[in-house]
């Protein structure tokens, strides 16, 4: 079974809701019907429940932290090797070892042939023959310009 950040976040939301529910319930003082039942005067019969709410709230934070950590690790680097502008795609002109975007002027040293892009993968592109390539924002722009009949699917990595 693969754990996803979304599952951890869903659990965190439930823990948070539960903590809020316990707190709301314990906000009303409970009527003490048996004053001589052995409890010392002033003892709060709900102290343990309030503490449980605190633990739940802390668990919420821990679950969210785990979700963020997992999302960070699950980011897949783009493996395409041709150089692109991260914002404009296939708009680079290469001259004297420097690739420069014709649209925004963004430049970088031209990568060695075969050197993968490494930007986070955000798209899945399925070509007409059913082949699947995963790529970053910059590469998907370049790919859109040249691939006809391909399907572009945004990979949902939204940190909600």
The footprint of Zn ion (CB under 5 A) covers 78, 80, 85, 87-88, 101, 103-104, 106, 117, 119, 136, 139
Task: List phi, psi (to 5°) of 98.
Answer: -120, 130
Exposed, middle or buried: residue 27 (CB in 10 Å: 0-12, 13-18, 19+)? exposed
CB of 83 to Zn ion, least distance (A): 9
Q: Measured from the CB atom, is 24 or 95 closer to Zn ion?
A: 95
Q: How far is the CB of 160 from Zn ion (least distance, A)?
A: 24
H-helix or E-strand spanning residue 153? strand 151-154
Q: Smaller CB distance to Zn ion: residue 45 or 118?
A: 118
CA dihedral 34, 40, 42, 47 (to 10 degrees): -90
* Closest CB 53 distance from Zn ion, rounded Å: 46
């Amino acid at each position: 079974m693969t754990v996803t950040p979304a599952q951890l976040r869903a659990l965190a939301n439930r823990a948070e809701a539960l903590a809020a529910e316990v707190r709301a319930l314990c906000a009303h003082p409970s009527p003490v019907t048996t004053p001589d039942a052995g409890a010392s005067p002033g003892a709060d019969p709900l102290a343990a429940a309030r503490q449980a709410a605190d633990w739940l709230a802390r668990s919420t934070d821990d679950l969210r932290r785990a979700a963020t950590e997992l999302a960070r690790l699950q980011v897949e680097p783009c493996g395409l090797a041709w150089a692109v502008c991260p914002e404009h795609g296939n708009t680079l002109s290469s001259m004297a070892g420097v690739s420069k975007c014709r649209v925004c002027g963004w430049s970088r040293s031209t990568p060695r042939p075969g050197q993968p892009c490494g930007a986070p993968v955000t798209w899945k592109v399925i070509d007409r023959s059913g082949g699947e390539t995963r790529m970053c924002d910059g590469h998907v722009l370049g790919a859109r310009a040249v691939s006809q009949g391909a399907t572009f699917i945004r990979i949902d990595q939204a940190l909600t």
